[in-house]
A and B are shown apart, each in its own frame.
Chain A
């Protein structure tokens, strides 16, 4: 696929790298000369200029891009770029700078297909690192709903039982299962929970601790 990314800073450039690694075509738009040069040194095509200007976006190939990532630190630029990206039929992704704005853009900005708030992803990563190995947040689905990956330990009360025997509180659901040495996959009723196996669960924040105790064991988070 073809992508245009506005902003070659810490978010835009990293996104461009990941896309390029997967074989996609990426053009970056960056208004700061030094930042643009740095991205060029990595082999990226960089258009130097203001991502809120139509001629710049056209030079970057907006007409035949599949999606536009407005990932600069400037909200006004990001929104203007999405506006034009939508006009040219792109899927549009906009980076925001403060989380309260997510609801506003989701509700009012029809020109923006999806919102990225990098700090939230950073916080999930930091939380995972702090919590250690046995529980890992995968995604915040909604304000009170989270997908977590839990690893069965030798203290797990459900160790040795099967997925069907697993009873989780408050409609928490098992979404995926992976043996300790295998990839995550659709859970089968007969899968048995052994040490090191991983279970991805969708659960309300309020019952997350109960889910953790059932699958991981009694060890308090962080240890004592």
Chain B
């Protein structure tokens, strides 16, 4: 079974970075997440079985965390 890896760039709207990071890290499929400096605030690594699941995690999982303003998802091709 091939795994799909994706990176989700998350722009926040809250200073509660700890809570944000914890909520994102708890989402099924998120295998790693870090607070980063720059114009996005958190980058999460997602590993799932199929490409369609990536969309679900970004749209329903991450976007629904309170304090997430928007996300941009990059699916790894290698």
B78 within 8 A of A: no
Residue numbers in A under 8 Å from B13 (CB-CB) = 98, 100
Chain B, interface size category, equals 10 to 19
With CB as the reference atom, state the residue of chain A lying closest to B12: A100
A144 within 8 A of B: no
Majority secondary structure of chain B interface residues (helix, strand, loop or mixed): loop
* CB <8 Å contact, B12 and A105: no
**How many Å lie between the Cα of A102 and that of B38 in the bound state?**
12
**How many Å lie between the Cα of A101 and that of B37 in the bound state?**
10
Instruction: For A75, give its contact among B15, B16, B35, B37 (CB under 8 Å).
Output: B37
A107 within 8 A of B: yes
With CB as the reference atom, state the residue of chain B lying closest to A83: B37
**How many Å lie between the Cα of A104 and that of B38 in the bound state?**
11
A76 within 8 A of B: yes
* CB <8 Å contact, B14 and A100: yes
With CB as the reference atom, state the residue of chain B lying closest to A103: B15
B4 within 8 A of A: no
**How many Å lie between the Cα of A100 and that of B15 in the bound state?**
5
Residue numbers in B under 8 Å from A102 (CB-CB) = 15
Which residues B30-47 have CB closer than 8 A to chain A?
A: 35, 37-39, 41
What 1/0 flags go to A58-97 for Cβ under 8 Å of B?
Answer: 0000000000000000111001000000000000000001
Residue numbers in A under 8 Å from B12 (CB-CB) = 100, 104
Instruction: For A79, give its contact among B15, B16, B35, B38 (CB under 8 Å).
Output: B38
* CB <8 Å contact, B15 and A108: no
> How far, in Å, is B67 (CB) from chain A's closest CB?
8
What 1/0 flags go to A104-119 for Cβ under 8 Å of B?
Answer: 1101110000000000
* CB <8 Å contact, B17 and A107: yes
Which residues B19-68 have CB closer than 8 A to chain A?
A: 35, 37-39, 41
**How many Å lie between the Cα of A80 and that of B27 in the bound state?**
30
Q: Which residues of B contact A (CB under 8 A)?
A: 12-17, 35, 37-39, 41
**Known contacts A75-B37, A107-B17, then 9 further A-B pairs from the complex at CB < 8 Å, ordered by chain A residue:** A74-B39, A76-B37, A76-B38, A79-B37, A101-B41, A102-B15, A104-B35, A104-B41, A105-B37
- Per CB-CB distance, the 10 closest pairs between chain A and chain B, nearest first, are A103-B15, A79-B37, A76-B38, A100-B15, A104-B17, A75-B39, A75-B38, A100-B14, A108-B35, A104-B15
